[in-house]
Structure 1
Amino acid sequence: MEFIGAMQDSRVPQHCIMDYVSEMHGGPENVLVTARHEEPLDKEGKIISIFWSHANAVTFDTTHKTNLYDKPLCMLVGANHHLQCAMFGFALLGDETVETFEWVFSAFKTCMGGEGPKVMLTDQDPAMPVALRKFFPNTIHKLCLWHVQNRFIKFLNELYVRFEEEDFKSQFQSTMHHPLTVREFETAWAMMLDKFHLHDDVTMKNLYEIREEWIPAFFKQDYCEVMVSTQRSESMNKLVKSAHVDENTPLHEFAK
């Protein structure tokens, strides 16, 4: 292991290390490699995904290119009672399918004693809510406000430019963030559509149809610790990338 570690520190490609070790032992079938039974394996016995945890509202997000294998790293990030970031768990994923997310949530649920978070914020990945409903049926699923807007940003920018003099952007942002009740939001949204004649606009219709999943006013009764987006996850992603790992980090160093 010290020899392998020295080669990895010297940036010897992983496949070269495996070829050399296999030759030392007379074939890959003779190389002793063990894995925890909880981790999913492929047909060749290689680990597909890895979950680990340091352990009310949790954000769940993934980031890419954090290691030599170009695999997604997902982070389960929440906040303590001082509104400081709290890390609940990590998972290095083989892919982002429903099955993989189900495995992540299953592992997270096990290490949390069978309990689930009250609220979970995610981006609009279609696989996440499917897995979430299966393992945390009582958890409130909330879409990240930033991701929702970003999905429609091309069309929103067109509206911002078209109604720049009327300052549509400010009214749109105010309608999203400021209403304290659902009724206030509905009233403000209707007034905005009337003012800018946007009743038939496809983008506004699409945003309105999923309003209960991302507009803060619909979550006032739920304690979300002032989180309306997965920004905490994004901040932790940046910290991990800038201070700990990069795209050239081998797995053994990544784990450390």
Structure 2
Amino acid sequence: MDHNYQLANQEFVQFLRSHRSVNPADLEHAILMHGVGIRIPQIVDLQAYQAGGHNKMGYTEKDLRNAVDQFHRNALEVDSQSRLDYQYFGDVLVFDSTYRTNAYRKPLVILAGVNHHYVTTIFGCALIADETEDTYKWVLETFLEAMEKKTPISVVIDGDGAMRNAIKAVIPYACHRLCAWHLKRNVVANTNKGFVLDFDVAMDMFCSHEEFERRWHLPVEKHNLKDNQWVVDLYNKREKWAAAFLRGHFFAGMKSTQRSEQLNATAHK
């Protein structure tokens, strides 16, 4: 039977949709390179060079991009129990990155909360390459995508600036609370013993804003800390750690990331 259309030349057959495919070795290689920040076009150029030319690869840049994207979509499949727990108990999210693991001391981000028995519940975790705002945004966006877009109403964080900015960008309506344990540790390092006791009182007082101001400024003056820049910066963030300003916000009884850090300590033993 004669064909009523012109057949593709042999050298172009591999580019027909029915013949194109990314072999597993090339895909794995591409995923590894993409994971460290190399862009798909650069990966294609490298693989074409290794194959002896684009015409010998058997796939196009679009094919490789689709295959890598599909891999990442498949990677979003998380433990069903964690997803179920988050749907029930994910109104308050503890976001902690203080633990360093493996020989390279990379941060392990733990996303956790508490269940109806006030037992620590792990919703997810991520081993990240750095602690930049973009990386934290990626963690949050990926986590929320895996959790069917459910966003928490409150977040407890360890005080990292990049983390705070990422949360503002990805979960703008969530109320942020700075970890009380980290604050107390930093107060000890940046002030004096007398002020530490006054800070504990000021942080936990359920009182009016006016009463808080009075209970804050008196000890600051008494301990000669008016010119202490760290104390000034802490005061400027009072709406994120003082109980007087957090009244009416739900945190499920949590004011520290210590729950996840206890798990870190157990994992490190």
TM-score range, shorter chain: 0.5 to 0.7
- How far apart in 1 are the matches of 2:34 and 2:206? 45
Give 1:136 shift: 0.9
Q: 2:213: which partner in 1?
A: 186
Tell me the distance in 2 between the aligned counterparts of 1:220 and 1:35: 52
Question: Per the alignment, do residues 35 and 128 of structure 1 end up closer, same or farther by CA in structure 2, a change over 3 Å counting?
Answer: farther
Q: 1:220 aligns with which of 240, 247, 268?
A: 247
- AA aligned to 2:210 is R
What are the ranges of 5 or more consecutive residues in structure 2 without an aligned counterpart? 1-22, 44-67, 84-90
- Provide the secondary structure at the position in 1 that maps to 2:266: helix
**Paired residues for 1:109-188 under 5 Å:** 109-156=144-191, 159-160=192-193, 167-188=194-215
Residue 6 of structure 2 is matched in structure 1 by none
1:71 paired residue number: 106
Decide whether aligned partners of structure 1 residues 170 and 68 sit closer, same or farther in structure 2, where only a CA change above 3 A counts.
Answer: closer
Deviation at 1:75, TM superposition (A): 0.2
2:258 — aligned with what?
231
| 8 Å Cα contact 1:145-1:215 kept in structure 2 | no
- Which moved further from structure 2: 197-206 or 129-138? 197-206
- Over aligned residue pairs, what C-alpha RMSD do you find? 3.3
Matches of 2:139 and 2:25 in 1, distance apart? 28
Relative distance call for 1:30 and 1:168 in structure 2 (3 A) is: closer
Amino acid at match of 1:226: G
Aligned to 2:120: 85
Determine the structure 2 residue equivalent to 1:206: 233
Alpha-carbon distance in structure 1 between the residues aligned to 2:105 and 2:223: 45
Q: Which moved more, 1:227-236 or 1:184-193?
A: 184-193
By how many angstroms is 1:139 displaced?
A: 1.1
TM-score by length of 2: 0.64
Larger of the two Rg values belongs to structure: 2
- Indicate how the Cα distance of structure 1 residues 104 and 173 shifts in structure 2: closer, same or farther if over 3 A, else same: same
C-alpha distance 113-155 of structure 1, shift in aligned 2 (>3 A):
same
Partner in structure 1 of residue 96 of structure 2? 61
Q: What are the superposed Cα offsets for residues 61-85 of structure 1, whole Å, 9 maximum, x if unpaired?
A: 1144423553221100111122211
Does residue 41 of structure 1 match 2:35? Answer: yes
Shift of 1:219: 1.2
- How many Å apart are 1:152 and its aligned residue? 4.5
TM-score using structure 1 length: 0.67
Q: Report deviation, 1:233.
A: 1.6
Deviation at 1:140, TM superposition (A): 1.2
SS of equivalent to 2:95: strand
Which one-letter code corresponds to 2:119 in the other structure?
Answer: Q
**Structure 1 gap segments, 5+ residues each:** 1-28, 161-166, 243-256
The residue matched to 1:221 in structure 2 has which SS?
Answer: coil
For the residue of structure 1 that corresponds to 2:101, the secondary structure is coil
Q: 1:84 to 1:35 in 2, by over 3 A?
A: farther
- Given that 1:61 and 1:74 are in contact with CA atoms closer than 8 Å, whether structure 2 keeps it comes out as yes
The whole-number CA distance in structure 2 between the counterparts of 1:35 and 1:117 is 36
TM-superposed deviation, 1:215:
1.6
In structure 2, what is the Cα distance between the partners aligned to 1:41 and 1:202? 40
Residues 216 and 228 in structure 1, CA contact (< 8 A), matched pair in contact too: no
Alignment of 1:231-250 (within 5 A): 231-242=258-269
Report the count of equivalent residues.
204
The equivalent of 1:15 in structure 2 is none
